[in-house]
Amino acid sequence: MVTEADTFIVDADAHVLEPPDLWERYLEDEYKERAIKIVHPPEGGEQLHIAGEMVMPGGLAALGGVEMDRSKLFGPESQFTYMDGAPAASMYGPDRVKLFDEWGVHAGLALPTVGILWDVDDIGLGNAYARAYNNWLHEEFLAADRQRIIGAAHLHLKDPVTALEELRLRLKQGFRAVFLPPERIDGKPFSHPDFDPLWHEIEDAGVPLVLHVIVRLKRRGSSFVNDWYEQGAANPLFTFSLGGTYQIIPAACSMVVDGLFDKFPKLKVFCVEAGAGWAAYTMDRLDEKYHHFNWVNPLQLEKPSDYFRRNLWFCAEPEERTIDSQLDLVGEDRILWGSDYPHIDSHIDAASQILDSVKNLSPERRRLVLGENARALFGID
C-alpha cells in the first residue's frame, strides 16, 4: 500500500474501460442495431464498430493495456483482445475501490475510454450513446462507492438543448464533473452562444469541465498539423507525447482569448493529459502577444494569464519534474495529478511515482497537489 500519513490523495485523471456489451444493454430499442460494439469477423480478430461502421480494425487491447507489454499490443499480428487489456479495476466499480486501497488513494475521477471515440452526425443516436454511458456509469460503476469514485458526465454537445437536459439529470444524480472534448463542436468554438445555457448551468453547479484528449484515427486541425501527425502516426512515442499538447493547449487558449471566462467568470476548466508544465510558458506567451493584439478582442481582466490563475486547473503527470515551479508561477491551488489508468501510456505504480515527484515540495504543497486541490475542485466531502 502506498500512503503518506495524514494526506488525502486523489487520482484526478483515470478512466473506465466500458464493458463490451454496455451500449447493447443500455441503449433504447430503436438504437440497439447501431450500438457501439466489438465485432468478431469470420477471418478472426476483433473490430470496434460505432454506428454500424468499423472504426478500429484490431489492436483493441491497446485501449487499456496498463499491465501488458506495449510492444505486443500494436499491429495486425497482435492476438490480444480488448478484454485482455482490461484489468478488473478498469471495468468494475468494486475492483476500482480495491485498487484505491492498494494504491493508498482515497478517491479518483472516472472518465470514458471507448466513449471518447464516438463522433456521430445522427443527433438522436449521439444523445442515446451519451445516455447509455451515463446510465451505466451511474447504475453500475459509481454504485460501488459514490464518495470515492468521482463521476464525469458525458454530453453530446452537437445537441446543446438535449445535452442541457442530460446535464441536469446527472447533476441531480451526483456527478461531479463534465467531460469536454478539446475541439470545436460542428465548427463552433466554446464561446458560441449555443453553448451558453450549458456553461451557465455548469458554472452555477460549481462542477468543473474536464478538458480531455480525444483519440482520433483521423485528427482534425490545420493541414500543417495533420501533415506532422500523418508522418508520425506510426510512432506511438510521437503521438502519445504530443497528442495531448496539440489538443489541450489550443482549446484552453481559445477559451481565454475568445472571452468565454468573461461571460462565465466562475466557470472551472480542468486541463487533463497534457501535463502541467505548459501552463506557465503559455501564460507568458499569451501575455506577451496580448500587448500587441489586445485591440482584437479586449478582455475584462488585465491580461490572459489572469484567467489561467482564476478559471483553469492543470493535471501533472506522475513523473513530472517541474511541479514546484508551476506552483510558483501558476498558483498553489492550480495543480492536481492523475494516473491515466488503465491506458497504455500510464503506469500501474503511478501513485508511488507521484509521491516520489513531490517528495521535495513543502508539506503544505504536497498536500495540495496530492489531494486537497482535487478535494476543492470536485467538491469531495
Q: Using DSSP bridges, classify how beta strands 47-50 and 53-56 pair: parallel, antiparallel or unpaired.
A: antiparallel
User: Does residue 172 have a pLDDT over 80?
Assistant: yes
Most confident of 161-175, 201-215, 288-302: 161-175
Q: What is the pLDDT of residues 351-378, one digit of tens each?
A: 999 999 999 999 999 999 999 999 999 9
Is residue 43 very low, low, confident or very high in pLDDT (cuts 50, 70, 90)?
confident
Q: What is the pTM of this model?
A: 0.94
Question: pLDDT over 90 for what percent of the chain?
Answer: 78
Which comes out higher in pLDDT, residue 213 or 223?
A: 213
Q: From CA 113, how far away is CA 82, in angstroms rounded?
A: 12
Average pLDDT over residues 306-324: 97
User: Are 38 and 48 within 8 A, CB to CB?
Assistant: yes
Q: From CA 188, how far away is CA 165, in angstroms rounded?
A: 20
Q: From CA 88, how far away is CA 122, in angstroms rounded?
A: 33
User: Are 379 and 19 within 8 A, CB to CB?
Assistant: no
Count CA atoms within 13 Å of residue 373 on its CB side.
25
Angle, alpha carbons 53-61-351 (nearest 5°): 130
pLDDT of residue 56: 87
Q: What is the pLDDT of residues 227-284, one digit of tens each?
A: 665 655 567 787 777 777 888 999 999 999 999 999 999 999 999 999 999 999 999 9
Q: Using DSSP bridges, classify how beta strands 47-50 and 37-39 pair: parallel, antiparallel or unpaired.
A: antiparallel
- Own/partner contacts of 215-221, CB < 8 Å, gap of 24 or more, are 215/116, 215/117, 215/243, 216/117, 216/119, 217/55, 217/56, 219/246, 220/183, 221/246
pLDDT of residue 229: 57
pLDDT of residue 227: 62
Average pLDDT over residues 41-68: 90
User: Are 48 and 374 within 8 A, CB to CB?
Assistant: no
- Domain residue extents for the chain: 10-30+87-378
The type of residue at 220 is R
User: Does residue 328 have a pLDDT over 90?
Assistant: yes
User: What CATH number was assigned to the domain covering residues 10-30+87-378?
Assistant: 3.20.20.140
Average pLDDT over residues 147-155: 97
